């Protein structure tokens, strides 16, 4: 059994909206107050505080008259936010993330409920301290009863509920097809069999509307209601762009996983590539990292194999026929002729063919040939 989150949109009643607003505010307040407490304890007194001390601090806050409003909402989301904070500190100390940051009320708000704080029966979901069920738009049935429920509100004012359930992934029938994928900007990706998927450029489609909405936002008075309305219009446009991008990536990744038994991709360092000021916006809009992430978990569910080759492998400069490696290959060169075997290559298709060959070598040998020699390479089974 594997755990999977199922996300749905719901429409709260005015009473539920007020309760959720208080819950989000209390979660944010507790998280920021405890983070300040733990930070000051270390820098001012040299004391290291863990989850037990943070939980004790929460108990004291509930008993304090100035913060008695914390008792008006369910205690489960408050405790869960401290567990999330503890995980954030663990990731920081182990070098996987930066120091935990304070939460803002202008960004996404969320609250997590465990089994003791919600009820799910007959397709209806009831939260703690809420008499009515949530008006959820069920797009598909849940495979099992959820273990945790996360209620969130994005910056565009939309409400979502995410149910964590256990499901049994079904392996797809074995197919002999294998594919190499070369990611790009002009084309989102090119496959080793010459199939091209154009880059939809979602941000560019809404660039004029987004610029107009941002200009209007900049002219509104700080703290006014009109500024809040203008900010939400900008957030709605960003949400529309993000939804279009995610919908496209999910459809493409599902098609690739359904059609191929082995999928070979590059191990791109997208964060490092975003340092390029000329290409950062286009790279972010393409969503390379999200596309590879979706391929990875969908391949694991379908019992497919995903092979990631070394990022320094010269896939574009290597001739897929004879193996000759060119000394230089500028980006403006889209087609070239091999000086050794006189084979004519399309840059992207040739790179995809080389990625496929290198990815199969990774699966067979467990290591990858890069531009610097033999480099051990791990791959997803």
Kindly list the catalytic residues.
182, 266, 348
User: Shortest CA distance to 364 belongs to which of 250, 262, 283?
Assistant: 262
DSSP-derived 3-state class of residue 6: strand
Other C-beta atoms lying within 10 Å of the C-beta of residue 155: 17
Write out the two tokens for 223: 């703290």
d(CA 306, CA 362): 10
Which residue is associated with the tokens 């997208």? 270
Strand partners, 262: 178, 305
Determine what percent of the chain falls in helix, strand and coil, rounding each to the nearest 5: 45, 20, 35
Question: Residue 317 half-sphere exposure, CB side, CA atoms within 13 Å?
Answer: 12
d(CA 338, CA 320): 9
d(CA 281, CA 268): 16
Write out the two tokens for 269: 């360092």
Write out the two tokens for 327: 């000394």
Running DSSP on this structure, what letter comes out for residue 160? E
H/E element, 162: strand 159-167
Running DSSP on this structure, what letter comes out for residue 318? B
Q: Write the DSSP string, 98-151.
A: -------TTS-EEEEEEGGGEEEETTEEEETT-SSPP-B--SS--SS--SEEEE
Please, what's the largest Cα pairwise distance for the chain?
A: 82
Strand partners, 374: 369
d(CA 253, CA 378): 21
């Amino acid at each position: 059994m594997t755990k999977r989150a199922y996300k749905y949109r719901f429409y709260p009643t005015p009473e539920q909206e007020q309760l959720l607003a208080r819950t989000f505010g209390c979660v944010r307040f507790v998280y920021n107050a405890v983070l300040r407490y733990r930070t000051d304890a270390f820098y001012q007194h040299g004391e290291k505080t863990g989850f037990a001390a943070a939980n004790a601090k929460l108990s004291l806050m509930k008993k304090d008259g100035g913060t008695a409003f914390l008792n008006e909402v369910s205690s489960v989301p408050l405790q869960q936010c401290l567990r999330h904070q503890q995980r954030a500190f663990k990731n920081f100390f182990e070098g996987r993330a930066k120091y935990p940051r304070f939460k803002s009320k202008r960004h996404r708000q969320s609250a997590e409920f465990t089994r003791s704080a919600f009820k799910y029966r007959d397709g209806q979901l009831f939260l703690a301290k809420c008499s009515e069920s949530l008006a959820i738009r069920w797009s598909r049935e849940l495979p099992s009863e959820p273990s945790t429920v996360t209620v969130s509100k994005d910056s565009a004012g939309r409400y979502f509920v995410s149910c964590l359930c256990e499901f049994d992934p079904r392996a797809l029938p074995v197919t002999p097809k294998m594919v190499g994928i070369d990611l790009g900007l002009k084309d989102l990706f090119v496959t080793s069999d010459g199939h091209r998927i154009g880059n939809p450029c979602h941000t560019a489609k809404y660039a004029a509307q987004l610029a107009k909405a941002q200009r209007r936002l900049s002219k509104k008075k700080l703290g006014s209601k009109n500024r809040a309305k203008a900010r939400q219009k900008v957030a709605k446009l960003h949400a529309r762009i993000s939804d279009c991008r995610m919908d496209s990536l999910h459809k493409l990744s599902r098609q690739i996983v359904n059609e191929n038994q082995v999928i070979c991709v590059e191990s791109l360092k997208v964060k490092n590539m975003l340092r390029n000021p000329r290409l950062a916006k286009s790279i972010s809009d393409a969503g390379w990292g999200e596309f590879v992430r979706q391929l990875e978990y969908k391949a694991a569910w379908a019992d497919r194999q995903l092979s990631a080759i070394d990022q320094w492998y010269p896939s574009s400069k290597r001739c897929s026929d004879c193996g000759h490696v060119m000394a230089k290959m500028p980006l403006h060169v889209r087609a070239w002729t091999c000086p050794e075997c006189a084979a004519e290559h399309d840059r992207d298709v040739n790179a995809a063919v080389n990625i496929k060959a290198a990815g199969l070598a990774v699966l067979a040998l467990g290591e990858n040939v890069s531009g610097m020699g033999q480099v051990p390479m791990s791959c997803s089974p």
